[in-house]
């Protein structure tokens, strides 16, 4: 079940971001940053809740506005990989972006070495649009891919996989 996050979920969200091995692929925010994000009307947070109530992962959107052109999937992370939670969370995020918010496109940035992320995004129909070089935490060069999906391709994929 994917539901909007509340401040009570911040510990679990921070634990997801901080899982060993995730530091090379996903950003981390402090409690204060997440509290500010949850209160910010241009952000949306959703958590995947397991039947026992535990948080299986989260997704954060940014650039949400009344007439949003493009909405950014800013962050997604799961507590346990390859159990379908990433697909569930991104599927819900795309539903909110296109069906509820009526945006024209969804976009995200993923590091080129993040095969799991790219596989998830591609499997839901997102496509590479461009690449840029950025500086990582230790000033190393990192290649970041922008992946996007248009409202039209979202609707087409819904028609093929209702």
Ligand X SMILES: CC(C)(COP(=O)(O)OP(=O)(O)OC[C@H]1O[C@@H](n2cnc3c(N)ncnc32)[C@H](O)[C@@H]1OP(=O)(O)O)[C@@H](O)C(=O)NCCC(=O)NCCS
Using CB under 6 A, list all residues that contact ligand X.
Answer: 22, 25-26, 76-78, 81-87, 110, 114, 116-117, 119-120, 123
Shortest Cβ 18–ligand X spacing (Å)? 11
Query: Phi and psi at residue 133, in whole multiples of 5°?
Result: -95, 135
* Of 57 and 66, CB closest to ligand X: 57
Give the Cα-Cα-Cα angle 127, 151, 64 (nearest 5 degrees).
95
Nearest residue by C-beta to ligand X? 86
* DSSP 8-state code for residue 100: I
Over the range 93-122, which residues count as b (16 or more CB within 10 Å of their CB) and which as e?
A: bbebbbeebebebbbbbbbeebeebbebbe
* Of 23 and 99, CB closest to ligand X: 23
* Of 1 and 119, CB closest to ligand X: 119
* Of 10 and 74, CB closest to ligand X: 74
Shortest Cβ 151–ligand X spacing (Å)? 21
Shortest Cβ 66–ligand X spacing (Å)? 27
CA–CA dist 132, 144 (Å, integer) = 5
């Amino acid at each position: 079940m994917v539901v909007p996050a509340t401040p009570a979920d911040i510990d679990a969200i921070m634990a997801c971001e901080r899982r060993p091995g995730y530091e090379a692929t996903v950003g981390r925010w402090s409690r204060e940053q997440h509290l500010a994000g949850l209160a910010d009307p241009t952000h949306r947070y959703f958590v995947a809740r397991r039947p026992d109530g535990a948080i299986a992962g989260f997704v954060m959107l940014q650039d949400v506005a009344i007439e949003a052109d493009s909405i950014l999937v800013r962050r997604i992370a799961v507590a346990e990989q390859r159990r379908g939670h990433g697909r569930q969370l991104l599927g819900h995020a795309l539903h909110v972006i296109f069906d509820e918010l009526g945006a024209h496109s969804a976009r995200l940035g993923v590091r080129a070495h993040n095969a799991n992320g790219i596989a998830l995004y591609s499997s839901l129909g997102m496509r590479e649009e461009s690449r840029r070089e950025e500086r990582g935490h230790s000033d190393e060069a990192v290649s970041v891919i922008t992946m996007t999906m248009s409202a039209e391709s979202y609707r087409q994929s819904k028609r093929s996989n209702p």
